[in-house]
Amino acid sequence: MESLTFRHTTKTPLAGSKPQAITGVVASGNLEILLERVLPPDTCEVAIETPVSGYGQVWEAVVADFVARAQPGGLRISINDGGARPDTVSLRLLQGARLMEA
C-alpha cells in the first residue's frame, strides 16, 4: 500500500455546513472518499491509501485540479482506493464536494 498526502490552500471555504459525507465503495476500479469539515476554512488536505504504487504524479494532478475547481476549504478528505482510474477519482471527488455543499 502507498500513502500519499497533499495539502492545499484555498481561496474560499467550501459552501454549506454539512460536517461529514462519504461516497463510493472500495471495489476494483473504484474508491471511497470520506469528507470531514474539520480544518481551517482556507485549507484542504487529501490523504490517499492506494494499492497501486507509482502514480503519485497523477494523484497530485487530479487533486490539484479538483481543489482549483471546487475550492474545498475546510475539508479533510480521506481516500481508500481500490485501483480507480483518474477520471473516476475526479468524479467521486466532485460528487463528495456536492454532498458537503448540500
User: Contact between 91 and another protein (CB under 8 A)?
Assistant: yes
**Smallest separation, CB 52 to another protein (Å):** 7
**CA distance linking residue 70 with residue 34, whole number of Å:** 16
Q: Which stretch binds another protein (CB under 8 A): 8-16, 39-47, 79-87?
A: 79-87
CA 77 to chain centre: 5
**CA distance linking residue 5 with residue 35, whole number of Å:** 14
Nearer to another protein, 7 or 98 (CB): 98
**CA distance linking residue 51 with residue 26, whole number of Å:** 11
Q: Which stretch binds another protein (CB under 8 A): 7-15, 39-47, 93-101?
A: 93-101
C-beta neighbour count of 29 within 10 angstroms? 10
Interacting residues with another protein (CB under 8 A): 1, 20, 22, 25-27, 30, 32, 34, 36, 49-52, 55, 57-58, 61-62, 78, 80-83, 85-88, 91, 94-95, 98
